[in-house]
């Protein structure tokens, strides 16, 4: 187990390096750069730029060099100084821009993650243990609907419903009052209220997916030899289900951890844009759009690192949950 963990950690570094390279390549792929989009925007507002001004701006931002050089400079600074570069659009170091929204992003994402697991695993188990009951049909239908509706469109529907009912589409996480005075105990209730739609919207697809996996997996386990043996031995049903079957059922759920972890950082971009949530996703989208390359690059890099760490963690969780995997790797 230890040897395996160490090997995986060593494989981690080259993977991240390759990913960072690909990310940088993709970001610079669209034509133009930050200066050209900036100049175009300014010219639309009536500013005048000479070719010299534009060239000066490029030199100032260091984007007059070929992208490979830019990439190596960027990487060098990250590795030696922990400096992730400078965001052109925010005129601040990238890291401070990211930090701005990190806390809120983590709160929102963790809430959604916990909601997803808390709701989906019990429902999945219920559906499997009461197969073909009314409840099973209800949740299966709901799960399918949840998967079939694109998240961001679900957001629009819910906002529309909320608008029709209460006259307020509940756009964003903070009311204007909260923005001015900050979140305190007395308006925390309203903040929670504003969390409802984002949680449902972003959590639904994941919930639907996990319900289906848990249900299918539990049904499979029910007919296996070991379950039959346990039942023949006269073990109480709850021991069979919760002590033995549940381990096998949680196996695929644990593999999903990798994606979940990266989503905490900057998942559900489109929904967040639609719902006007001030979390990381929309920042990434805006940065990509305006070619604020170091900001976009850093967000993507952190996210990729989280995916790799998540994969590692979920593999370790799998080994812990399922002894067969552990012994397989020894042999």
Partner 1 sequence: MSLFKKKEKSEESYYLASQWTLIRKKLMAHKLAVTSMIVLGILYTTALFANFLAPYGLEDFSSDYKNATPTAIHWMKEGAFVGPHVYKMSYTMNKETFKREWEEDTSVMYPLKFFVKRKPYRLFGIIPSDVHLFGTEAIGDEEPPRILLFGGDNLGNDLFSRVLIGSQISLTIPFVGTLISFVLGVFLGGISGYFGGMVDNVIQRVIEVLSALPTIPLWMALSAAIPPDIPVAQMYLMITMIISLISWTGLARVVRGQFYALKNEDYIVAARIAGVSNMKIILKHMVPGFMSYLIVNLTLGIPNMIIGETSMSFLGLGMRSPATSWGVLLKETQDINSVAQYPWRLIPLIAVIVTVLAFNFLGDGMRDAADPYK
State which residue, 117 or 285, has the beta carbon closest to partner 1. 285
State which residue, 22 or 118, has the beta carbon closest to partner 1. 22
Task: For residue 236, count other CB atoms closer than 10 A to its CB.
Answer: 11
State which residue, 89 or 235, has the beta carbon closest to partner 1. 89
- First and final C-alpha spacing in the chain: 11
Question: In angstroms, what is the minimal distance from the CB of 29 to partner 1?
Answer: 4
For the chain, list the strands marked E by DSSP: 86-87, 92-93
- Residues 6 or more apart whose Cβ sits within 8 Å of residue 269: 281, 282, 284, 285
Question: In angstroms, what is the minimal distance from the CB of 291 to partner 1?
Answer: 10
State which residue, 272 or 319, has the beta carbon closest to partner 1. 272
State which residue, 140 or 199, has the beta carbon closest to partner 1. 140
State which residue, 250 or 307, has the beta carbon closest to partner 1. 307
Which long-range contacts link 146-150 to residues 24+ away (Cβ below 8 Å)? Answer: 146/204, 146/205, 146/207, 146/208, 147/205, 147/208, 147/209, 147/212, 149/204
Question: In angstroms, what is the minimal distance from the CB of 175 to partner 1?
Answer: 16
- Sign of the CA dihedral 106, 111, 112, 116? positive
Give DSSP secondary structure letters for 113-131: HHHHHHHHHHHHHHHHHTT
Question: In angstroms, what is the minimal distance from the CB of 273 to partner 1?
Answer: 8
What secondary structure letter does DSSP report for 85?
Answer: -
Geometric angle at alpha carbon 21, from 18 and 27, rounded to 5°: 140
Question: In angstroms, what is the minimal distance from the CB of 151 to partner 1?
Answer: 9
49 sits in the region (left: phi over 0; alpha: psi -120 to 50; else beta) called beta
Question: In angstroms, what is the minimal distance from the CB of 218 to partner 1?
Answer: 16
What secondary structure letter does DSSP report for 184?
Answer: -
- Sign of the CA dihedral 80, 84, 88, 90? negative
State which residue, 164 or 184, has the beta carbon closest to partner 1. 164
Question: In angstroms, what is the minimal distance from the CB of 240 to partner 1?
Answer: 23
Residues that bind partner 1 (CB under 8 A): 15, 18-19, 22-23, 26-27, 29-31, 144-145, 147-150, 152-153, 156-157, 159-160, 163-164, 169, 171, 262, 266, 269-270, 274, 284-285, 288-289, 296, 300, 303-304, 307-308
Task: For residue 293, count other CB atoms closer than 10 A to its CB.
Answer: 26
């Amino acid at each position: 187990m230890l040897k395996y963990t160490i090997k995986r950690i060593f494989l981690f570094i080259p993977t991240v390096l390759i990913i960072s390279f690909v990310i940088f390549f993709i970001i610079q792929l669209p034509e133009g750069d930050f200066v050209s989009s900036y100049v175009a925007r300014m010219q639309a507002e009536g500013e005048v730029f000479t070719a010299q001004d534009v060239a000066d701006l490029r030199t100032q931002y260091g984007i007059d060099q070929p992208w490979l050089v830019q990439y190596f400079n960027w990487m060098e600074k990250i590795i030696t100084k922990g400096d992730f570069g400078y965001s052109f659009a925010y005129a601040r170091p990238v890291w401070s821009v990211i930090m701005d929204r990190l806390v809120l992003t983590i709160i929102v994402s963790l809430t959604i993650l916990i909601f997803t697991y808390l709701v989906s695993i019990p429902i999945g188990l219920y559906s499997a243990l009461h197969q073909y009951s009314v409840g099973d049909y209800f949740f299966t239908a709901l799960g399918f609907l949840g998967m079939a509706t694109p998240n961001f469109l679900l957001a629009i529907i819910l906002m529309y419903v909320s608008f029709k009912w209460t006259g307020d589409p509940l756009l964003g996480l903070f009311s204007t009052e909260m923005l001015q005075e900050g979140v305190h105990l007395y308006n925390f209730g309203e903040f929670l209220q504003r969390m409802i739609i984002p949680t449902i919207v972003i959590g639904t697809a994941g919930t639907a997916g996990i319900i289906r996996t848990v249900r299918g997996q539990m049904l499979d386990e029910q007919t296996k030899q070991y379950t039959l043996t346990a039942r023949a031995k006269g073990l109480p049903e709850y021991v069979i289900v919760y002590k033995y079957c549940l381990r096998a059922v949680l196996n695929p759920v644990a593999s999903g951890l990798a994606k979940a972890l990266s989503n905490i950082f900057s998942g559900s971009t489109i929904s967040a844009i639609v719902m006007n949530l001030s979390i990381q996703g929309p920042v990434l989208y805006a940065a990509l759009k305006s070619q604020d390359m170091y900001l976009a690059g850093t967000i993507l890099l952190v996210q990729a690192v989280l995916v790799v760490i998540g994969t590692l963690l979920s593999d370790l969780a799998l080994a812990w949950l399922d002894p067969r995997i552990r012994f397989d790797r020894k042999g």
